[in-house]
Amino acid sequence: MHSAHTFDIKSTKSQAICNGGSRTIANSDNFPILRGMATYSLKLDRGGIREPHWHPNAAELSYCLSGKALMTIFGHGATHNTFTIERDEIAFVPQGFLHHIENISEEETKFIITFNHEKPEDIGISGSIGSIPTAALDYTFNVKSEFFAKINKPTQDILIGKRSSIAKPEFPNIPNPYKFNLKEEPQIQSKIQNNGGTVILANAYSFPILNGLACYSLYLKKGGIREPHWHPNAAELDYVINGRARMIIFSPGGNIDTFEVGPDQIVFIPTAYFHYIENIGEEELHFAVFFSHEKPQDIGISGAFGAYSNEVFGAVFNVDPKVFESLPKYQKDLFVVAGGG
C-alpha cells in the first residue's frame, strides 16, 4: 500500500554509480514530504572509498549495515579522528567537518546515512582541488613548481574511488568520541527492554558529541509494539533493517495514514505527529530510528492517560467515567509493549 510517508530506497535508481561503489539519495527532490532530514544509501565495493568531503549545511549520522570501514574525521583545530566502524555501529560527523569512509573488508560495505537537512549539500576534496590554480596549490604546500600539474584535477567531485589493495589498519576496533556501538550488549546503559522488545538509545545523553541528530536501534519481538507516541521537538526518519511492520501516522486535520513497510524502506514522520509501529511478521523487527534533534523528546499514550482524571476521559469519549476505573494509571510511558502475535 502506498503512503506519502514512505520511500523504497532499494528500488530507487542510484544517482551515482562509480568504480568503487554507489550512492542512492532520498531527499526532498524525490521524497517531497521530507523536512529537516534526508538519507543516503551508500554501498562501497571491496577497496571502495567515499572520498574525503564535507556537508556545508548538515551534520551526518552514519549507520553501518554490513561490512567494515575505516573513517577519518578532520575538524576544527586540525583535530584528527581515525577509527573503524562495523555493523550496528554509528558515526557522527559535525556540519562542515571533512571525513571519508573506506571499505576495509573483503565484502561490500553498506551504510544508511542520515542528515539534519532535507537537501544536504556536498563538497569533495577532488573537485575542491580541481577548482584551484596549480600555482596556488604549489605555493600552499611549498612544493616544487608544477607538482600539482602532474595530478589529475577533476572539475567535479569523483564521489567514490577505488584503491588497488585493502587498507589494513594497525589498531583494533577501539572506542572513539565520534562513534557509538548500537549492538545489543549488556554494557550499554541507555537501553529499554521488556517482553515486547528492546530499544538502544544513542542520544546526547549517551553519545555526547551528537548535535542536531540522534539514533535509536529498535527491536520488536513477534507481535511487539512501539506504543503510540509523538516527539515534540524532533522529526523521525525510520529505516527498516529487518522484518515487516504496520504503522499508523495521525496528522493534523484528522488524516489517518495506515501502511506496511519492509526491509530497505524508509518512513518519515514530521515533528510531533502521532504514530505507532507494530511487528506483523514472523521474525524480529529491526528499525534504525533517526531523529532531527540530539535529545529527542518522547510522549507516549500510556503515560498520557495516567495524567488525567476518569471524568476528563468520560467527557472526551462520551462514556461513563467508571469505564476507565479498570485502566492502569501509568506514571511514565511503557515505550515498548508485547502484542498478541
Over residues 237-252, the pLDDT tens digits come to 999 999 999 999 999 9
Cα–Cα dist 92/209, whole Å: 8
User: Whose CA is closest to 199, among 178, 216, 182, 222?
Assistant: 216
Q: How many residues does the chain have?
A: 341
Find the radius of gyration of the CA atoms of the chain.
23
Low-confidence ranges of the chain (pLDDT < 50): none
Instruction: Give pLDDT, residue 174.
Output: 74
Torsion over CA: 184, 48, 263, 59 (sign): positive
Residue 218's CB is within 10 A of a number of other CB atoms, namely: 25
The residue assigned the cell 529487518 is 242
SS (H, E, C) the chain: CCCCCEEECCCCCCCEEECCEEEEEECCCCCCCCCCCEEEEEEECCCEEEEEEECCCCCEEEEEEECEEEEEEEECCCEEEEEEEECCEEEEECCCCEEEEEECCCCCEEEEEEECCCCCCCEEHHHHHHCCCHHHHHHHHCCCCCCHHHCCCCCCCCCEEECCCCCCCCCCCCCCCCEEECCCCCCCCCEEEECCEEEEEECCCCCCCCCCCEEEEEEECCCCEEEEEECCCCCEEEEEEECCEEEEEEECCCEEEEEEECCCEEEEECCCCEEEEEECCCCCEEEEEEECCCCCCCEEHHHHHCCCCHHHHHHHHCCCHHHHHHCCCCCCCCCEECCCC
Cα–Cα dist 95/233, whole Å: 20
- Domains in the chain (CATH in brackets) are 6-122+157-162 (2.60.120.10), 183-337 (2.60.120.10)
Instruction: Give pLDDT, residue 2.
Output: 79
Given a contact cutoff of 8 angstroms between Cβ atoms, the answer to whether 6 and 259 are in contact is yes
Instruction: Give pLDDT, residue 293.
Output: 98
Residue 312's CB is within 10 A of a number of other CB atoms, namely: 13
Instruction: Give pLDDT, residue 144.
Output: 82
The whole-model pTM stands at 0.95
Geometric angle at alpha carbon 30, from 28 and 32, rounded to 5°: 45
Which residues lie below 8 Å from residue 177, measured CB to CB, with a gap of 6+? 81, 208, 209
Instruction: Give pLDDT, residue 165.
Output: 86
134 φ, ψ (degrees, to nearest 5): -55, -45
Instruction: Give pLDDT, residue 269.
Output: 98
